[in-house]
Amino acid sequence: MKTITLEGARIFFTFYILLQMTFPSIAHLTALTRNKYDSCFTEDEMQLKIAIRSIVHTTLKKGILDLNYEALIRDQWRAHNLSNVLKAQIDNTVLQMQRETSWRKLLESLAYRDTANALAFDMSERVYRSKKIKKALENMTIDIWYNIGKSIELTAADAHQPTTLCLHTFLGPRYGQTITDAIVQDTALAFVTPSKESIAKTEITTNTSGLVSGAIILLFRRQLSSVAKRLGQRATATIISRLVSVMAGGISVILIAKDIWDLRYGMLPIVAEEMKSKNIEVVIKDELTKIIKREIDKQLETLSDNVSKRIINIWREFKLAHLKVLELINANPEFKKFISTVQLDQLARIDEVVAIILRRNDPTLINKLMENGAFYRAVVQLPNAGLQIAREKQSIELALSWWDVARSQIYEVVQLEIYKVSDPSSFTFKSLQNLLSFDDKIISYRFAEIPRKARNALMSLSHDYISRIVHGMSPQHLAILADYMIGLSTPTRQKLVEKIINEPELMNILAPTHVLWGILQSNNQLIAIEFMLRTDHLLNTETIYSDLNLVWQRHINPILIWSKYSLVIILSGIPLLIFTLIIQRIFSVPNRRKVL
């Protein structure tokens, strides 16, 4: 996969914009100018944030450009039966105010404009600030936002494509295709619709916390949740103010058409009738349209800002997580080329392989491993068990060597911890298979500790013998036993093994180096072993003479006599030394002094 160059990116985006001009059917996907894309040609993160914000905002704005707010409000007005709800609340308010207001004040409302306006304002306050009307307006507003939210969901996918192109422009020339694809994949979550197909009304107020984190729809839904009630309250206040001014101008005209009996309740019936009129309904819908348009513009600004911040944060989090890899990409062109050839799911492995290599403090090591293919094998082919070896031993080469020997059984090598005490060069594939065939951690571990030659010698024994020997002695004694098996003749070796299996403690006698050397150098190794392992409860001259005769007849090496009778020799040598000194004293002539 080729690395994106800056000039290549410019050519691509020029072609893309020309394609939009040539085929209008795809132009709705972005509807962005060359200038907006040019702003992505930067190395400054804040400039990138501004560019993404502009792209997202333009796309979202384009997506709801044809949204018919008036029709939307009209449909929701009808769906919520708001006309009848208003009429019922107006009638109830009139009855309540008739009971509470004196005849005098009611009549004054006909004569004095201020009193009439005050009464109209009071009635409007009571109607539109009543719990029923406020709740009805809020519910209608929520449903309006709900429908707008569906339009935003449809537009969100359109914002993904131009934002992706912008990220390719920003990242591609510097970090290559793989890194760019990784960021694009992460940021795609900012534009996909969450798990549910469309926004639900209950989610606006109660269910926003459980959706997909980072999605653009989630951001918008959360904004809807916080805005809906405030918008209903704001709409109520604005509508009341507008209604009072509208009705105040029409009261005098209405009075002309009324007879005297209708005026006995003052301005209340007149205000009520006016509030129920289509004219007032139009005023309310008009005010709602203005408020919602202003609010949606504001929310799109906020949403675009939040999305751009989130995308920049995704990039910064990625940089922090892959810091060393990105530094190497900038500093090492060959490494950059390599990164552009790997898959996205291999980035985490690359991070760890790079970390292991850098701990070696050898700046040339990465290039060496890339040249000989070891880096590629560690990233693409080495199993996780092999990486564990590399991690603990701080060596990619060692891990690959173990994998070359063990292949699919490298997991057993790790599980049995063979790699901790041995080197892969001491094994062949077959010998390692033989060792692992025991399926015994103690046997595998102890055999791995001893040299290859010794291990091969012991492996010639039966599984039963090996199990009994290994569980009965230390690795040091195992290695010495292997030396005996290498140096002894076959019949002698078999008899020694049988003795050791039954009495493992006999290895304490055979373990000293000079004993091993003496037995192997003896002409009759079996006699030498029996001589060393013989238990003498009482020493006598006959036994000593017989043993010395073994040396005289060249059956055993003389050093074994020293090993067997060292204490006797030492003790018998002291009287002999004293006797020699006495004889020397008796027969020696003393020095005479020279007389001057």
Predicted confidence (pLDDT) at residue 590 exceeds the cutoff of 90: no
HEC string of 216-271 equals: HHHHHHHHHHHHHHHHHHHHHHHHHHHHHHHHHHHHHHHHHCCCCHHHHHCCHHHH
Tens-place pLDDT, residues 452-490: 888 888 988 888 888 888 888 888 899 899 999 999 998
Q: Provide the pLDDT for residue 198.
A: 44
Per-residue pLDDT averaged across 550-571, rounded?
Answer: 80
Query: For residue 257, what pLDDT band results from cuts at 50, 70 and 90?
Result: very low
* First and final C-alpha spacing in the chain: 111
One-letter identity of residue 396? I
For residue 283, give every residue at least 6 positions away whose Cβ sits within 8 Å of its Cβ, in sequence order, or none: 239, 242, 243, 246
CA distance 479 to 239: 97
Q: Do the beta carbons of residue 67 and residue 130 sit within 8 Å?
A: no
User: CA nearest 413: which of 458, 350, 426, 355?
Assistant: 426
- pTM of this prediction exceeds 0.75: no
CA distance 575 to 314: 92
Per-residue pLDDT averaged across 429-444, rounded?
Answer: 89
What are the C-alpha distances in Å from 140 to residues 82, 116, 184, 207, 228? Answer: 9, 31, 38, 19, 9
Predicted confidence (pLDDT) at residue 411 exceeds the cutoff of 70: yes
Mean of the per-residue pLDDT values of the chain: 79
